[in-house]
Structure 1
Amino acid sequence: MISVVNEFLDDLRGGRMTESPIVRVEEGELQGKLVNSPSGKAFYSFQGIPYAKPPIGSLRFKAPQPPEPWDGVREATSEGNSCAQIEPFFHKEYLGDENCLFLNVYTPSVDGEFLPVMVYIHGGGFRMGSSSTSLFGADYLVEKDVVIVTINYRCGPLGFLCLNTPDVPGNAGAKDIVQALRWVKENIKNFGGNSGNLTVFGKSCGSALVTLLTASPLTKNLINKAIIQSGTALNTWAIQRSPIENATALAKELGCESIAIDEIYEFLSTTPVKDIVEAYERMSPLVGTMDKKLNPFAPVVEKEFPGVEAFLTEPFVDVLTSGRVADIPVMIGSTAVEVALVHDTDDLQSYIPKDLNIERNSDEALAIAEKIKALYFKGDVSSDKSLNDRAHLVSDCLYNINMHRYIKYLVNNSNKPIYFYKFDYNGELDWSNHFLKSLDLKRAGHVDEVGYLFKNDLEKEVEPQDVKMRERLLRLWTNFAKGGNPTPDENHYLPVTWLPVTEDKLCYLNIGNELSLATNPDQEKMEFWDKLYGKYYKIWDHPATNESIVPICERIEFSTAPVIVEETIITTSTVVNNVETTETQVLVNVQETVELNEEIKGLIVDDNEAVHQNNVVDVPTEEIAVPDNVLDSHTPDNLVQEEVEPTEVQVVEHSEDFGINIVEIQQKFETPQNGVEEIKFNGNSEKKPRPSNEIKMVPSNNVNPKDVIRANDPPEDDLPKNIGVNKFVNFFESLGGKK
């Protein structure tokens, strides 16, 4: 071993590059390989480096753990597994593996030059993708004297399942990236990189993750610059809002009928990973409409637990608008047409951002829809000629509006430069030429600039103009990574000086056939959306946590007494000797409930059912304390008083029940919309019988059920780390105890 290292060092001193470079990292030694770029320039490649323990077995769905050391020299000459996923474009088949936490390092030198480091986060809608050199070859970037790192992270449910528990609080995939950055910070100097000059860049959901990384407390002092390509965490598709519903839907798709969190966790933890990935694809196909654009498994605002590292504990917009994101230089932009193939509805109200909370078919909604039509469509909205107009509208709704908002928020809270661009070049290296060739696009599509930054297997013949555009992008990106300025000096390839955004002027670089400077792209449209957000968007209207609506049957099972209150108002009118007297009684039925069983079913009273007489209590009216809002809708005006013959007659009129009509509400959850059965959320299935040896808990109202302790739980040593302890702590806290 010593002789191999000495030979390698001798080669470096002699100015020669060794065929089998060896680099020491914290866990041991790695042997890479020498490769040549298309231009013939040699560089070093280290692939398949584990940056965390394999997230398998008891570590599934959990935060990544530091990698374990190894003995001897580990071979790093081939790529590691990508995350388990369904490849959607070509073969539509299962690929990858659960053991996927690997990264690649590509460097022009390992002799301590301390070059700038660029870490790329791949896209794929949080559900797919990888760092494979078939798409993300670092050859051209490394030629610009930077160290390139590409990583794999967990996607889909494996990376973004959230159960709101200490073991599975969510964001495991995002925490994978944090762990990779920590590994880079610790080890990149041994690959010739400068850990104090690290730029994170990403595309699509990768760029949304970049914005989240700049807002996470876990990345403090890890990131020095950021490049954001088509996506921010302000986009509705970038944040998961109903994690418990999504987890329950996935479990049900796989055959689990339980709605108990601990049972869902146990079920999903032991289900084959291939089954999980295929079930996710069935419940949420990749191709969707505007109304189905939310990702069931995406980053989430985490609940905080003692001793558990959280990636994000408050809404991203709160961190951004309060100026608590990393104060670093930013380069941000989008392509000419982000979404090219969308024709799902002619109803323009569906394009009004949901976070504005504008009531459908209201005067405001109808007026906004008309304004959208005037701004975006030149002719008939439903005609084939309108497809291009619709593409621009959908591109704005899914990407550009929130990118515009992000820039405005950022420029008001940062002293660092913000460089804004629009990529509008159409060439042979565009990815859309391969993935969407039948569309014959004449504008740059969603991922097209990536084809000019990375070497990929899709490349064939390259036109001279495409080579020039590649050189331009490579220089802009790597210049920014080196010093925070993409155009430090003008030259043949970069004949302009790119000006950053200011509070008064939205400067941007138009990257087309030539480079040109301009201001305020799509000004009229963006001003329209700005006014809408200024009028209707209220941060306080949006929940600060990810809490889902607790399913009805789950709410009953774990609620504290009393949970059902039924009240009947009885008016008695008596006429004796032409003198009328009236007496009012209030009948109250209160029943404690701990478990959903046959007894409680008998206590759920429908509007047309009589009250159980054995549970009726006569209470004087003045002793009943009823909230004002209840009295408003149940006033004595609804009562009937009738004059009758001189005999005693009792007239009874029922008011609405003040309790919960479980059957009616659950039917609403189960009724398919528009005749089509949608994803089955929790609460619309029969309750799975529980084992008789479970100890029931009674936590406080309106919270998700905690894990339970079972009499047959294995000893602590036989459990995955901290499972038994957390169960005991949760049980203890539910009884009012404190840690």
Structure 2
Amino acid sequence: MVDPSADTIMTFRDRMTDMRKGPFAVALSLTTAVASFAVMGPAGADPDPVAGPTLVRTDQGVVQGEARPGHRLFQGIPFAAAPVGDLRWRPPQPARSWSGVRDATFPRSACAQLPGVGSPLTSFEEDCLYLNVATPDRPGRRKLPVMVWVHGGSNTAGSGSTYNTSKLAVNGDVVVVSINYRLGALGWLGHPGLETRGLQAGNYGLLDQQAALRWVRHNIGAFGGDARNVTLFGESAGANGICANIASPTAAGLFHKAIAQSYGCAAPTNTPATAEAAARAFTEAVGCDDENTVAECLRAVPVKTLLDVAKTKGLRAGPVAGGDGVLPLQPAEAIERGRFNRVPVVHGSTLDEMRLYVSLIHQRPITTARYEGLVRSTYGDKADRVLARYPVSRYPEPRIALSTLATDHGNVISTCEHVKAFGLFRRAGVPVYAYQFADRTAPPLVDVPGFEEGAEHATELSYLFPGLLGTLNAEQQRLSDTMVGYWTSFAHRGRPSARNAPRWPAHRSTGDVLSLGIGEDGVHTTDTSEQSNCAFWDEIGPVPPVALF
């Protein structure tokens, strides 16, 4: 659990204001290495039919992983060159080859970041474009589906190696790849002085994700994976990346299915104008406001300074849509116009998304008057209607009323934003399977004393990645098994199913959302649009540019 500090709370308050607008060497002998070539063959060839080989040859060279119970794990494999020096704020370049055998038994550096809620990592490293591969330890020559995980963290924090992908790999019989990508200012700074060869500045993190997918296409066969059956999946900021890749022409053919968890694909992301305005404020703060030397100046600034200024300025990190061929349209517009990568989609959110943010900003109980004042300052002459629909008397305390209101409507992770996205995909003619994670007993991302976190943002992750937020009890383990079954069967066949679990229907109406909870009838279809008053919110309209919190 995390003990949120005052600085952390301020960071989240600033981020929440923006959410409504759009995001948020073990040496081996040469003899062994040479022998391994005879066993493995070239990259992309069928894996050794003997279970558990830990030597694999990639395009760049041989890697040595390790055998773990039920699976093999390879960590810290470079998929692109270190984006340092002149490569800072440039598209990712090919990774260098190496001779001999590279130790892949431990993860490499996380991308540069400061610690935040749910992520205690601190890193000042730019050499961070690494990935990790988990593959079942079993005989056979059949190529397995591949799942590529894009971590969350507000596009400013996190690391692929944080996530234990073994259960997905072993129980689901899939190869799982978890990746890093550049974060914060180093991944998303949209200053026009950084534009390269006509590319919109600010999408370096997105291009990193695509570079990792190209590595998968060229190398995953050597690990037993099928490069023709790749599912891209991610949560929160990672799902922001999934939505952007669905809309990105430069990601065409790099993945064949997508799972977006807790970020609505109908939500807007940065535009060139908003990215440039934020970048100019940032460059001025670091002392690089001379238009003629901005790129050279920025590349000389220490990483720690960049991180500190980004935190102070509240730099909004995320994809930039509309400036070039990488992301020419907002995801929603791309889907509406049919100009997107047409792949089957699993898409959904948690039942109590915004309890995380409300509990961080209001760690102590608030009064009814305080709740009503926040609603009135936000909704103006529509506040009476909102308060009538969300009266404090209906909820255990005012903070729960506030978080329920905010979960239903008004930001990129809200239920109604997801409902819009379900409809977009359905009308575009691609299979979409909608869900809502609903286990209110799940281990929380942040445990705030005296507050019921419920199924807050990120709580579903422990059910896919064991031990991430805490230990699951027997009932929760059964839900975890079901979810892993749904997720990995979707990777296999494009249709989610699970043993001894209800059928998951494709989304054809608002009632076709699968609620994922515990208990005998914990998994069932539901109508999240009705439950979250989405028709009412359509009448109310967008949230005004006033902080609800």
What CA distance in whole angstroms lies between the structure 2 residues aligned with 1:92 and 1:476?
30
Are 2:337 and 1:322 equivalent residues in the alignment? yes
Q: Residue 531 and residue 320 in structure 1: after superposition, are their counterparts in 2 closer, same or farther (change >3 A)?
A: farther
TM-score when normalising by structure 1: 0.61
Say if 1:189 and 1:195, in contact at 8 Å, map to a contact too: yes
Instruction: Select the residue among 29, 34, 47 that pairs with 2:67.
Output: 34
Deviations 1:336-378 (A, max 9, x none): 11011426873436656xxxxxxxxxxxx51x33222222224
Deviations 1:30-89 (A, max 9, x none): 1111112xxxx2x11111111111000011111111212222222211111111111124
Q: What corresponds to 2:525 in structure 1? A: 517
Q: Residue 49 and residue 450 in structure 1: after superposition, are their counterparts in 2 closer, same or farther (change >3 A)?
A: same
Q: What corresponds to 1:393 in structure 2? A: 405
Are 2:264 and 1:232 equivalent residues in the alignment? yes
Q: What secondary structure sits across from 2:405 in the alignment?
A: helix
Q: What corresponds to 1:200 in structure 2? A: 232
Say if 1:109 and 1:191, in contact at 8 Å, map to a contact too: no
Q: CA deviation at 1:272?
A: 0.3
Q: What corresponds to 1:190 in structure 2? A: 222
Q: What secondary structure sits across from 2:308 in the alignment?
A: helix
Q: What corresponds to 2:286 in structure 1? A: 254
Q: What corresponds to 1:411 in structure 2? A: 426
Are 2:362 and 1:332 equivalent residues in the alignment? no
Q: What corresponds to 2:133 in structure 1? A: 105
Say if 2:272 and 2:322, in contact at 8 Å, map to a contact too: no
The one-letter code matched in structure 1 to 2:58 is: V
Q: What corresponds to 1:95 in structure 2? A: 123
Say if 1:127 and 1:155, in contact at 8 Å, map to a contact too: yes
Deviations 1:220-272 (A, max 9, x none): 1111111111103443566675222212222233244x3x4333323221100
Q: What corresponds to 1:123 in structure 2? A: 152
Within-5 A mapping of 1:535-546:
none
Q: Residue 269 and residue 3 in structure 1: after superposition, are their counterparts in 2 closer, same or farther (change >3 A)?
A: closer
Q: What corresponds to 2:504 in structure 1? A: 498
Instruction: Select the residue among 421, 440, 444 that pairs with 1:431.
Output: 444
Q: CA deviation at 1:14?
A: 7.8
Instruction: Select the residue among 476, 479, 491 that pairs with 1:481.
Output: 491
What CA distance in whole angstroms lies between the structure 1 residues aligned with 2:307 and 2:326?
24
The one-letter code matched in structure 1 to 2:526 is: A
The total of aligned residue pairs comes to: 485
What CA distance in whole angstroms lies between the structure 2 residues aligned with 1:7 and 1:66?
24
What CA distance in whole angstroms lies between the structure 2 residues aligned with 1:244 and 1:176?
20
Deviations 1:285-328 (A, max 9, x none): xxxxxxxxxx5232112534xxxxx4212333321211222221
Within-5 A mapping of 1:538-617:
none
**Structure index of larger Rg:** 1
RMSD between superposed Cα atoms in Å: 2.8
Q: CA deviation at 1:441?
A: 2.1
Within-5 A mapping of 1:127-206:
127-133=156-162, 136-143=163-170, 144-165=172-193, 166-167=195-196, 169-206=201-238
Q: What corresponds to 1:577 in structure 2? A: none
What CA distance in whole angstroms lies between the structure 1 residues aligned with 2:406 and 2:271?
18
Say if 1:376 and 1:393, in contact at 8 Å, map to a contact too: yes
Say if 1:5 and 1:22, in contact at 8 Å, map to a contact too: no
Q: Residue 456 and residue 442 in structure 1: after superposition, are their counterparts in 2 closer, same or farther (change >3 A)?
A: closer
Are 2:498 and 1:465 equivalent residues in the alignment? no
TM-score when normalising by structure 2: 0.81
Q: CA deviation at 1:329?
A: 1.1
Q: What corresponds to 2:461 in structure 1? A: 450
Q: What secondary structure sits across from 2:214 in the alignment?
A: helix
Runs of 5+ unmatched residues, structure 2 = 1-29, 41-46, 363-370
Deviations 1:691-713 (A, max 9, x none): xxxxxxxxxxxxxxxxxxxxxxx
After superposing the two structures, state which structure 1 stretch, 204-213 or 389-398, moved more.
Answer: 389-398
Q: What corresponds to 2:513 in structure 1? A: 508
The one-letter code matched in structure 2 to 1:517 is: T
Q: What secondary structure sits across from 2:489 in the alignment?
A: helix
Runs of 5+ unmatched residues, structure 1 = 285-294, 305-309, 353-364, 538-672, 674-739
Say if 1:240 and 1:296, in contact at 8 Å, map to a contact too: no
Q: What corresponds to 1:22 in structure 2? A: 55
Say if 1:240 and 1:299, in contact at 8 Å, map to a contact too: no
Say if 1:230 and 1:333, in contact at 8 Å, map to a contact too: yes
The one-letter code matched in structure 2 to 1:445 is: E
Q: CA deviation at 1:440?
A: 4.0
Q: Higher relative CO (CA 8 A, sep ≥ 6), structure 1 or 2?
A: 2
Say if 2:440 and 2:453, in contact at 8 Å, map to a contact too: yes
Q: CA deviation at 1:439?
A: 4.6
Q: CA deviation at 1:379?
A: 4.3
Give me the identity figure in percent: 29
Say if 1:208 and 1:233, in contact at 8 Å, map to a contact too: yes
Q: What secondary structure sits across from 2:76 in the alignment?
A: strand
Q: CA deviation at 1:518?
A: 2.5
Q: What secondary structure sits across from 1:498 in the alignment?
A: coil
